[in-house]
Amino acid sequence: MKTLLVDDTPIDIAPGTTVLQACWAAGAYVPALCAHPALPTTGHCGMCLVEVDGEVALSCDIAAAPGMAVTTTGERLETLRRKALSALLANHPHECLTCPEREGCDRVSCSMGVDMAERCCERFGECEVQQVAECVGIPSSTPRFRPRGLPAFQRDTALHLYLDRCIACMRCVDACVSVKGHGALTWLELVEGIFVGPSAGASFKEAGCKFCGACIEVCPAGSMLEQGPRGRRWRDLSREKLAFPPMPLPPRRHLALAADAVATVPAAPGAFRLFDAAGRVHLIEGVDNLREALGAHAASGVATHFDFHEAQMYSQRANELLQAHLKEHGKLPPGNDLDDDLF
């Protein structure tokens, strides 16, 4: 084992480790929308920028070497990451991410009058693109998304592919080809740009898809999506079988459930979510005093992280979060199981 420095912290590295993997091992969050702990790295999204010995580099695309000095934060990196994110969002629905009414929105009607095709999808609240955007920040110069009317594949099964949401990160292709060895997904070169899709024919079945669920599990953008109760049951089973390691959590979204972090939370009404060590939602609750309620949970030992949403109508906001989770997973979080009869 050899050692490098990540933000002045010594980290032992094994042969074949990338700088991005070394950063994650050091507990330093580096945003990435194409890299994933379960996949080979590709360098498509341009988000995982760091400074290596003072020079900016894509951390997923460079091998970690002994003696390197890696810096993961700083104004230069933040500016470049926002620029890369802006380029991705120009081709992905993102109006909900910048909407001032997003916290109290019912996800059905739109008080801002935004067309449905420009709004975020049903992954809102659990979306990886959203998590990265909240951490990195969306530049005001980000172009408005213009729907391109791209097709959706395989509408006769529980697995759907929505090309208008695809950010061409290639995670699904890597999961299908490199990890599972199926080869059902490939690049699609259309007039509108480069996307992913079935490698042969017009459906996943024709392309030899085994419906293992790996593509959905790693998709960060809601492009690969299960549909309906049947799809949710299938995804729950496939997730357990795949057992992929979770993506590292952005620090600005999920705070450590500890006294110092809880002390920064306003003593105001709102709703919060508790997460376990794997990033899964454990509990969703609406309260009249966020700081007090989270403080009571800090010593529980079950949850490790939290996020919160200030809202005067805190019961309504908690219900919205619960309904979104139920729609996403087909069941309530473990800590809300006692309330199952309410839904």
pLDDT bin (cut points 50, 70, 90) of residue 30 is: very high
| Counts of helices then strands in the chain (DSSP H, E) | 10, 14
pLDDT band at 280; cut points 50, 70, 90? confident
Please state, in angstroms and rounded to a whole number, the distance separating the CA atoms of residues 307 and 330. 21
Query: Residue 338's pLDDT is what?
Result: 62
Q: Which CATH number fits domain 152-242: 3.30.2130.10, 3.30.70.20, 3.50.50.60, 1.10.10.10?
A: 3.30.70.20
Of the two residues 327 and 283, the one the predictor is more confident about is 283
**CA distance linking residue 9 with residue 18, whole number of Å:** 16
Q: Sort 129 into a burial class: Cβ within 10 Å, 0-12 / 13-18 / 19+.
A: buried
Per-residue pLDDT band at 187 (split at 50, 70, 90):
confident
* Fold entry, domain 255-342: GIY-YIG endonuclease (3.40.1440)
pLDDT tens digits, one per residue of 213-242: 999 999 999 999 888 888 888 888 988 899
Q: What is the mean pLDDT of residues 104-127?
A: 83
Q: Give the CATH fold of the 2-73 domain.
A: Ubiquitin-like (UB roll) (3.10.20)
Q: Where are the domains of the chain?
A: 2-73, 82-136, 152-242, 255-342
Provide DSSP, 190-227: ETTEEEEEESSSSSTTTTT----SHHHHH-SSSSEEE-
pLDDT band at 195 (very low <50, low <70, confident <90, very high): confident
Q: Please state the pTM of the whole predicted model.
A: 0.72
Question: Where does the pLDDT of residue 76 fall: very low under 50, low under 70, confident under 90, or very high at 90 and above?
Answer: very high
More confident of the two residues 124 and 253: 124
Confidence of residue 201 (pLDDT cuts 50, 70, 90): low
Mean local confidence (pLDDT), 71-94: 92
